């Protein structure tokens, strides 16, 4: 890797429109990754930083300091991250086997978060690195560690003078990986504890789904087109389906972590509720963090879980069993043999406000399902059919607008048309927008967008403390009711989950989009 590659997000250096996202040497922060030997750093964070750097969004000279418990030299860390780039970077890793000069910006510092030691050593090391690299001393701390270390690390950073007070010449921000809490009380306690050392505008709670291009496109589609937004309400929409289906199970490595969490905490509380907010929110007064967070908060406050119905009527949880060649959840390493952890969850809820009153929102997520797909389907109401009854043809299908978040990213609209011929028939057809066809180049990874935003001080695509607490309130209520509900229903891997999820439609027409 000789000179910086010129290939940027869309195959060229940042365009003039993108140049306001370019960070100059003065504004660039040192990136300090706690948990640098973990999976996330090698798979996502370092490749994202490399891609931003290679595309010209970061200055030539940067400093990324990995912090973790293991003993390791800078050289060993650089070699490992070079291998990670070869495997995981979407834009390649450059021309040479050493990944230079990018990896010469990487450093390693050993620190045991459990030791009770102070961070004076890290503070001195950062000062040396920043001086040598000509950096201003701004700092972005990224906590890619188990959540029990969040508070100990933040309070050490505070006590040892690594966090500057807000409003000064140098900034310090902290990014928190999920899970942020495991119920409403722990999320509140965590928000309270980190507020001792950080103000809200220094806190970046990440949900990587908000960084996905196709999720950001929900804003563009809804608020940038005059013809669709007027239809997003109870007068036109029959129901909304949000699906996050994965084919993978525990991948031989996630069992112990997942077993204490389950689908509800792992992805409903964050990814699916965040997507729900973007689909249901009012247009914010401005596209800025405060206004966007305020609108998302209103949606979360309006979510109503049925009070009088038994939980089985509006929520189904499942657990995958074994199939030939596929271990069942209970056989996975790290999973308790009698575990009731759900690997699938589906629920029906309402956003009880003027726009959405009476429109069911059906959310589901699961592991070991038939297909990998994340999508939002806006299912419109059935049109009146009297005209077609006289022609004795099949009734037209209701229109569906589908945001495909992944894979095959795009948007499709299904409507009815007459096929050519003397007969008068009605047949559903689809208008498709596909990212791959409409735009060239690979899509930026979510972590690229989010790391760049955190370095620029823009928290619009992050979660505010009150949003997290509100989402946890809903999830905690479901978890509470599950204590008295039957155990998760078994489902076979490679299917669409427990068959009883079909009954959640209740008053809504239609069925899950299992195709
Ligand atoms: C993570 C969950 O947040 O998202 C994982 O913890 C899940 O269980 C992952 O597999 C899915 O992310 P993506 O970007 O691959 O859809």
3-state SS, 194-227, equals: HCCCCCHHHEEECCHHHHCHHHHHHHHHHHCCCC
Place of tokens 């780039």: 85
| Nearest-angstrom CA–CA distance, 273 and 238 | 19
Active site residues: 271
Longest dimension (CA), the chain: 83
Among 267, 272, 366, 448, name the best residue to mutate to test ligand 1's pocket (greatest count of ligand atoms within 8 A of Cβ).
267
Nearest CA to ligand 1 atom 14: 209
pLDDT digits (tens, 9 = 90+) for 117-144: 889 999 999 999 999 999 999 999 999 9
Q: State the average pLDDT over residues 74-103.
A: 87
Tally Cβ neighbours within 10 Å of residue 276: 23
Q: Rounded mean pLDDT of the chain? A: 92
Cβ < 6 A, ligand 1 pocket: 246, 266-267
210 C-alpha to ligand 1 centroid (Å): 12
What was the pLDDT predicted at 167?
87
Return the ligand 1 atom nearest residue 271 CA: 3
> Ligand 1 atom 9: the closest Cα is on which residue?
267
Query: CA quadruple 213, 216, 218, 221: dihedral positive or negative?
Result: negative
Average pLDDT on 160-178 reads 94
Per-residue model confidence as pLDDT tens digits over 175-229 = 999 999 999 999 999 999 999 999 999 999 999 999 999 999 999 999 999 999 9
How many CB atoms are closer than 10 A to CB 394?
Answer: 11
Please write the tens of the pLDDT for every residue from 316-327: 999 999 999 889
Out of 255, 256, 270, 271, give the residue to mutate to test ligand 1, the one with the largest number of ligand atoms within 8 Å of its CB: 271
Distance CA 280, CA 296 (A): 8
Q: Give the three-state DSSP class for 141.
A: strand
CA of 432 to the centre of ligand 1 (A): 26
**What letters, b where the CB count within 10 A reaches 16 and e where it falls short, cover 72-107?**
bebeebbbbbbebbeebbebebbeeeebebbbebbb
Q: What is the pLDDT of residue 507?
A: 61
Tokens coding 486: 């039957």
Q: Which of 363, 377, 378, 352 is nearest to 273 (CA)?
A: 363
CA distances to 28, 83, 333, 437 from 251, rounded to whole Å, are: 37, 21, 10, 32
pLDDT (mean) for 349-374: 97
CB 4 within 8 A of CB 54: yes
Ligand 1, atom 15: closest residue by C-alpha: 246
From 430, 394, 400, select the one nearest 509 (Cα to Cα): 400
Distance 207 CA to ligand 1 centre (A): 10
Position with higher pLDDT, 114 vs 51 = 51
pLDDT digits (tens, 9 = 90+) for 369-407: 999 999 999 999 998 877 777 666 677 889 999 999 999
Residue linked to tokens 């043999």:
337
At 386 the pLDDT is 73
| CA atoms within 13 A of residue 180's CA, in its CB half-sphere | 31
Cα–Cα dist 263/247, whole Å:
14
Quote the CA–CA distance of 246 and 244 in Å, as a whole number.
7
174 pairs with which residues across the strands? 141, 203
Q: Report the C-alpha gap between 433 and 221 in whole angstroms.
A: 12
CB count within 10 Å of CB 339 equals: 20
Mutate to test the pocket of ligand 1, among 246, 253, 407 (most ligand atoms within 8 A of CB): 246
Q: Cβ contacts of residue 204 below 8 Å, gap of 6+?
A: 173, 174, 175, 176, 450, 454, 459, 462
Lowest mean pLDDT among 66-80, 258-272, 382-396: 382-396
CA distances from 368 to 9, 326, 502 (A): 32, 9, 18
pLDDT score of 397: 87
CA of 379 relative to ligand 1 center, distance in Å: 26
Whose CA is closest to atom 4 on ligand 1?
267
Atom of ligand 1 at shortest range from CA of 406:
16
* pTM of the model as a whole: 0.94
Cα separation, 513 vs 375, whole angstroms: 10
Which atom from ligand 1 is nearest to the alpha carbon of 246? Answer: 10
Of the chain, the percentage scoring pLDDT greater than 70 comes to: 95
If you average pLDDT over residues 79-95, what whole number do you get?
86
Ligand 1 centroid to residue 423 C-alpha, Å: 48
Residue nearest atom 10 of ligand 1, based on CA coordinates: 246
| Ligand 1 midpoint to CA 45 (Å) | 15
């Amino acid at each position: 890797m000789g000179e910086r590659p010129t290939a940027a997000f869309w195959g060229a250096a940042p365009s003039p429109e993108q140049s306001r996202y370019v960070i100059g040497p003065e504004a660039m922060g040192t990136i300090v990754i706690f948990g640098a030997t973990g999976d996330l750093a090698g798979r996502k964070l370092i490749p994202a930083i490399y891609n931003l750097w290679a595309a010209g969004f970061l200055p030539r000279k940067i400093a990324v300091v990995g912090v973790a418990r293991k003993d390791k030299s800078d050289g060993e860390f650089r070699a490992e991250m070079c291998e990670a780039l070869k495997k995981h970077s979407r834009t390649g890793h450059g021309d040479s086997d050493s990944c230079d000069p990018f990896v010469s910006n990487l450093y390693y510092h050993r620190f045991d978060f459990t030791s009770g030691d102070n961070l004076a050593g890290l503070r001195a090391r950062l000062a040396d690195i920043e001086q040598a690299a000509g950096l201003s001393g701004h700092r972005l701390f990224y906590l890619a560690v188990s959540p029990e270390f969040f508070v100990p690390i933040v309070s050490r950073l505070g006590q040892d003078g690594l966090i500057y007070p807000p409003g000064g010449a140098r900034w310090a921000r902290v990014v928190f990986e999920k899970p942020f809490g495991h119920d409403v009380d722990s999320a509140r306690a965590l928000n309270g504890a980190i507020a001792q050392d950080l103000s809200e505008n220094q806190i970046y709670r990440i949900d990587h789904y908000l960084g996905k291009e196709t999720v950001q496109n929900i804003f563009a589609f809804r608020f940038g087109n005059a013809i669709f937004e007027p239809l997003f309400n109870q007068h036109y929409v029959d129901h909304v389906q949000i699906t996050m289906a994965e084919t993978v199970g525990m991948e031989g490595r996630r069992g112990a972590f997942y077993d204490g969490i389950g689908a509800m905490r792992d992805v409903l509380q964050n990814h699916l509720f965040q997507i729900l907010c973007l689909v249901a929110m009012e247009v914010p007064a401005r596209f800025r963090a405060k206004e966007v967070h305020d609108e998302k908060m209103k949606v979360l406050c309006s979510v109503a879980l049925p009070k009088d119905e038994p939980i089985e009527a509006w929520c189904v949880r499942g657990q995958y069993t074994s199939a030939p060649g596929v271990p069942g959840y209970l056989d996975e390493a790290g999973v308790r043999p009698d575990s009731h952890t759900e690997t699938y969850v589906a629920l029906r809820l309402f956003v009880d406000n003027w726009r959405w009153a009476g429109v069911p929102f059906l959310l589901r997520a699961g592991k070991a399902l038939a297909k990998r797909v994340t999508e939002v389907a806006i299912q419109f109401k059935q049109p009146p059919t009297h005209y077609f009854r006289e022609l004795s043809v099949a009734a037209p299908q209701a229109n569906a607008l589908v945001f495909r978040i992944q894979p095959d990213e795009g948007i499709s609209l299904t409507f009815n048309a007459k096929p050519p011929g003397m007969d008068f028939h009605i047949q559903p057809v689809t208008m498709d927008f596909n990212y791959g066809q409409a735009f060239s180049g690979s899509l930026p990874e979510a972590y690229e967008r989010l790391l760049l935003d955190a370095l620029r001080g823009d928290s619009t695509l992050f979660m505010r403390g009150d949003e997290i607490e509100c989402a946890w309130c809903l999830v905690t209520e479901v978890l509470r009711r599950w204590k008295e509900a039957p155990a998760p229903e078994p489902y076979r891997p490679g299917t669409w989950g427990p068959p009883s999820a079909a009954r959640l439609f209740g008053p809504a027409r239609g069925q899950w989009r299992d195709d």
